[in-house]
Amino acid sequence: MSFHILRLLRVILLAIFIFHGSCYSDEAGSYTFMKDATLAPTHASFDYIIIGGGTSGCALAATLSQNANVLVLERGGSPYDNPTATDIGNFANTLLNITPNSWSQLFISEDGVYNTRPRVLGGGTVLNAGFYTRASGHYVEEAEWEMEEVEAAYEWVEKKLVFEPQVMGWQTAFKDGLLEAGVNPYNGFTYDHIYGTKIGGTILDGDGHRHTAANLLEYANPNNIVVYLHASVHKIFFTTTTGTDYSYSTSFNDQCK
């Protein structure tokens, strides 16, 4: 996936979800609305069905649940089942574990490149290196987004997920190398996407614990959302006899295929 696509996905996550006023009682990992898909009823009705509880899916679900009934279908499990697996010390082990029930899944791209993708609530934020930065002001301007709303969206995400990193030896050496190579000015610590050298944000806190997009579900209205885990969606059916209705076909399994 190209840098520009990755940046676009990150900005979409930050820019379109502007709700940031409510706080509910459920804490991350103790969501009363998160269930295994084998417990799903035969029939249910929702205003929105979100297929994939990844980086954007969790943010979208939390936002929509303020004023609508939302169903999230996630083919993987919960990142809270094994909290230490997301710690910085287990970064490589978690990423490289591609056993049938793991959070990381091996795949080969259409051009033959081997890679891994997430299979867990929270998506790529559960597996990636944890670096965080905002999009450039120029990018936001070209997208014709309202800067005030974008700023609110950034703060909405950062309140739950983002921290100032501890700058260790190799990070200091890398920073100094950039400055010696003329990548100026030095901007210090900032979330802003600006020219020069900077220390960006991280989703790993000071103790090395990872905070993922699944934590954004703390913002969700628990009365208006259901999250089913281990649910693989195979078909979406559209009917228009009395308006527009959406339904789905799923298979529930323990192997997260």
Per-residue pLDDT of the chain (257 residues; tens, 9 = 90+): 444 444 444 444 443 343 444 555 467 888 999 999 999 998 888 999 999 999 999 999 999 999 999 999 999 999 999 989 999 999 999 999 999 989 999 999 999 999 999 999 999 999 999 999 999 999 999 999 999 999 999 999 999 999 999 999 999 999 999 999 999 999 999 999 999 999 999 999 999 999 999 999 999 999 999 999 999 988 877 766 655 555 555 555 443 33
Whose CA is closest to 225, among 118, 84, 69, 7?
A: 69
Q: What is the DSSP letter of 164?
A: P
Looking at the structure, tell me whether residues 42 and 76 fall in a common domain: yes
The answer as to whether 219 is a domain residue is yes
Rounded to an integer, what distance in angstroms lies between the CA atom of residue 10 and that of residue 160?
16
**pLDDT attached to residue 249:** 56
DSSP string, 204-242: B-TTS-B--GGGGGGGS-TTSEEEEESEEEEEEEEE-TT
CB 134 within 8 Å of CB 193: yes
Q: 3-class SS at 39?
A: helix
Q: Is 10 inside any structural domain? A: no
For 85, the token pair is: 């697996």
94 shares its domain with 197: no
pLDDT tens-digit readout, 181-200: 999 999 999 999 999 999 99
| 150 lies in the same domain as 180 | yes
Q: CA 68 to CA 24: how far, in whole Å? A: 16
Strand partners, 227: 34, 72
Residue 234, pLDDT score: 86
Domain presence at residue 29: yes
Check whether residue 122 and residue 142 sit in a common domain.
no
Domain count, the chain: 2
- Which domain does 191 fall in, by range? 131-202
DSSP 8-state class, residue 65: T
Q: Are residues 231 and 120 in the same domain?
A: yes
6 domain residue, yes or no:
no
